[in-house]
A and B are shown apart, each in its own frame.
Chain A
């Protein structure tokens, strides 16, 4: 199917609209990825090559928030929730790479009241 886009291009990074300084909140990352295990076969019986996400990194204003070498540990279309808090507003960035070398990234702004 030539119309299938490359995996891992589509994602959502979800943060609350507004948080209090030092308030703990959840950051949710959702990535569209089939996470092929290599154990499945297509309709003609050929094995589908394995391709899962290898690394996921999340950082807030240059500071590492989450760093994971995940491989088979996640389901298809993985969702990762990380708790964080901050005194100041800033931008949150996530990027990931799968075994085929497809990379993706997404960013979101965290707004802290009065900062």
Chain B
């Protein structure tokens, strides 16, 4: 009798793990990987917010992020006009993958890192901090990023067709499906599987980055997608990567691929 029940639990636990694996494992990357949401099912983070916040985001006069857009526009006119005559569309080219000429390794270029590359190679400004890259999450960097994203509002990000073949994409996808942290979550467990349901009072979004840089009420300021992703790791009670960790730009790339077809709505308002 005892042996019988032990065997039963063993069978049950094996069955459980098989089921668990089927539910949580990423689909094999040997086949062409498919996006979790079809283009007509994509919903941006705004549609999961309360009505009054959606209204506040839709009205530029009420969206505090527009203050950053204003100062970003001034910086663009001052520093970027010599090369870029038109700001519209610049943000749609990013993030993208490039091969570093010296290390021969893959690197993901994000909107913020491209601004800093431009700044240290092309922009010739006078004064003490001439040609130095902006600090991450510093106000001028967020302002310029907000303005560029704002200028590409309504457009979709251009994603290269072979993006799923890159190492960065594959690393980011593995990270997206990896169960981690004290709470045994993975990004996919919520944002791919149960979007629209609630964790306590919070509606789970589909996890798209099209609203960033966004004004987050929790931060009381504008922040980049890099900062938001670190906040995700913190929320999962997992190891929070450093801001300079290459996994974060890679995840930005993965999110952009996942959301391809969804128009940019930055600078958005987020909880």
CA of A1 to CA of B139, assembled, Å = 9
Interface string of B117-148 (1 = CB under 8 A from A): 00000000000110000110011110000000
Given contacts A28-B61, A34-B221, contact A5 B67 (CB under 8 A): no
Tell me how far the C-beta of B55 lies from the nearest C-beta in chain A, rounded to whole angstroms.
Answer: 14
* A3: interface (CB < 8 Å): yes
CA of A2 to CA of B135, assembled, Å = 9
* A4: interface (CB < 8 Å): yes
Within 8 A of B (CB), among A1-45: 1-5, 10-12, 14, 28, 30, 32, 34-35
CA of A28 to CA of B63, assembled, Å = 12
Contact in complex: B138, A10 (CB < 8 Å)? no
* B28: interface (CB < 8 Å): no
Smallest CB gap from B67: residue in A: A32
**Which of A46-54, A58-66, A75-83, A87-95 makes up part of the contact surface?**
A75-83
Our pick among B61, B135, B138, B220 for the contact of A12 (Cβ within 8 Å) is B61
Contact in complex: B220, A28 (CB < 8 Å)? no
Given contacts A10-B71, A30-B67, A79-B64, contact A4 B139 (CB under 8 A): yes
* B66: interface (CB < 8 Å): yes
CA of A76 to CA of B218, assembled, Å = 11
Tell me how far the C-beta of A115 lies from the nearest C-beta in chain B, rounded to whole angstroms.
Answer: 25
Contact in complex: B129, A10 (CB < 8 Å)? no
Contact in complex: A77, B140 (CB < 8 Å)? no
Interface string of B60-103 (1 = CB under 8 A from A): 01101011101100000000000000000000000000000000
Tell me how far the C-beta of A83 lies from the nearest C-beta in chain B, rounded to whole angstroms.
Answer: 15
Smallest CB gap from B134: residue in A: A3
Hey, which chain B residues are within 8 Å of A34, CB to CB? 220-221
Hey, which chain A residues are within 8 Å of B141, CB to CB? 3
CA of A63 to CA of B155, assembled, Å = 45
Contact in complex: A76, B138 (CB < 8 Å)? no
Our pick among A4, A10, A14, A77 for the contact of B61 (Cβ within 8 Å) is A14
Our pick among B64, B70, B134 for the contact of A77 (Cβ within 8 Å) is B64
CA of A4 to CA of B220, assembled, Å = 16
Given contacts A3-B134, A4-B139, A75-B220, contact A28 B129 (CB under 8 A): no
Contact in complex: A2, B129 (CB < 8 Å)? yes
Contact in complex: B220, A77 (CB < 8 Å)? yes
Tell me how far the C-beta of A98 lies from the nearest C-beta in chain B, rounded to whole angstroms.
Answer: 16
Interface string of B197-222 (1 = CB under 8 A from A): 00000000000000000010000110
Our pick among A4, A5, A14, A30 for the contact of B64 (Cβ within 8 Å) is A30
Hey, which chain B residues are within 8 Å of A5, CB to CB? 71, 139-140
CA of A103 to CA of B71, assembled, Å = 17
Hey, which chain B residues are within 8 Å of A35, CB to CB? 220
Residues of B within 8 A of A (CB): 61-62, 64, 66-68, 70-71, 128-129, 134-135, 138-141, 215, 220-221
Among all A-B residue pairs, the 10 with the closest Cβ atoms = A76-B220, A32-B67, A77-B64, A14-B61, A3-B138, A1-B135, A1-B138, A10-B67, A4-B139, A10-B71
